[in-house]
Structure 1
């Protein structure tokens, strides 16, 4: 299913978003096979492709429109945009950096604490390490991550477990 609709960009807090029409939302949820948690979607905004996640917040499902999806989206509140939307079944999980996997294997406490984290928190750590550019920064940040997971220090803006 690939449904198309028009919506006006609204703001909640500092986040631009649109509501997905009920009929279309019901079809996406049915195709996803769930009504809770985040729903991966893809489509077009004003003919530009995007990948995003539908999120239920404060009792309503919302499609948050970030600047990657739509240039200057925070400045475009009140604008009506054309959106197509479809459930995205593609696997979005990132592969763990081999050096992080090796470090976790060497430190059982850190590995156990990593497993206890929510999937989104695990992905946050994996994404952070995977997006580093130099071997030095990878090594330095893996040390910080292992310390954090061992209960010492902070990492990616979070304090020790």
Structure 2
């Protein structure tokens, strides 16, 4: 390709760098101008004479049908939102009132799948609580007995 001064801008090295650059940064689609900035910077980092974006656009236009490539590119901003709806085969279930599960006696059940034993809140007694019958545990003795040999509240629970 010949630039405005009549000199050939595209050497073998610059074309190779152009093809390497467009492998990672396609200058098509909604962000084609931003991608062209990357392409231009990559090409210019490997050639001695800087190449303008207009020259790169012209080179790509001579090699490819850029308008067709741009039109065929999927635009992520054009996707329309569609509200989800169940298929018609679920209409009979949708018409039932909630809760839709009935027990064997015909009464509606609104239980969660968890059992009652899990729904009770568990409380934890403090391990350091001291009963009125025991003396405090010293740090040098074992936690199971006190200095007087009495049993702590931890032993009582076992």
Q: TM-score range by the shorter chain?
A: under 0.3
TM-score of the superposed pair, with normalisation by structure 1:
0.21
Give the structure with the larger strand fraction: 1
TM-score of the superposed pair, with normalisation by structure 2:
0.21
Structure with bigger gyration radius: 2
RCO greater where, 1 or 2, for CA within 8 Å and sep 6 or more? 1
